[in-house]
Amino acid sequence: MRKVGIIGGGNVGATCAYQVASRGTADVAVYDIVEGVPAGKALDMSQVGPIFGFDGRVTGSHDVSIIEGSEVVVVTAGFPRKPGMDRMDLLRKNADIAKASGEAIKKYAPDAIVVCVTNPLDVMTWTTQQATGFDASRVVGMAGVLDSARFSTFIAMELGCSPIDVKAMVLGGHGDSMVPLPRFSTVGGVPITELMPADRIEALSDRTRNGGAEIVKLLGTGSAYYAPGAAAALMVDAILNDSDRLLPCSAYLDGVYGLSGMYCGVPVHLGAKGVSKIVELDLDEAELEMLKASAASVASGIADVQSLGASAS
């Protein structure tokens, strides 16, 4: 059986682990720093196998060597922002975690494709890639898959249609500067610009940009994990099955869209070798300016990490 490693056994990591294991395509090894938690969650998941009929083996440990030999490693470990923490405090803590995760992957899973989920996502994907020393094509961030799913959900709610028929596209950094693209978002192949007025499209775009914050506010404590975990699992499937899915992901940019030296959400071909190709859409002037503004925010975050001395470069 093939193997997927997950660094971070919290809600997102555990949800991703369950989604991957339930497909029966790979064994899953979950690492978390808290002793007992990853092993306990792994045992609980394993006991679902006889109920739903899957045989993916799930193990957990507080020893990171459990990821050894993984073909794909998903990084979800990180701190949520807490009262009294400023942005730089959070960036420092999560950059240190991303760096340590990258070093562990380099040691125990040197041939793996890496899927990063830790926030701030695009910056942490860059930090992890720097720590692994892997070719940038082998390190990819989960951003647009989740953001596009949120946009699709809101479109389906607005139109009263099945979400299965909605295909949305969201680019840019994974944050409030992300760029929903109505022209490239469709229902049954029909652009949503033909199905609803501009003011409703803008309202849904704004809701998408604040999709994570909306869930945090409703929960009171904690943040989203079902959809983020599922989005990461979808990317794992694309890699393990070498299905060459066209998905919006955070990928390293080296000149496309006029952007270089950073990770940012763009459409990519995702398969067994990671990102094999970046698709450069024919964006209009306004769309391109929004993408560049979003990328500038990511570049600022990368500069902050470099100033903290947290990167491995």
Active centre residues (catalytic): 174
Pairing relationship of beta strands 58-61 and 26-31 according to DSSP bridges: parallel
Report the first-to-last Cα separation within the chain, whole angstroms.
35
β-partners of residue 58 are: 28
The Cα-based distances of 301 to 213, 289, 308 in angstroms read: 19, 19, 11
Q: What value does the CA radius of gyration of the chain take, rounded to a whole number of Å?
A: 19
Is the link from the previous residue into 228 a cis peptide, with omega within 30 of 0?
Answer: no
- The CA dihedral of 295, 93, 230, 64, to the nearest 10 degrees, is 130
Token digits of residue 7: 């660094």
CB 158 within 8 A of CB 195: no
Element (H, E) at 264: strand 260-271
Residue 196: CB atoms within 10 A of its CB come to 16
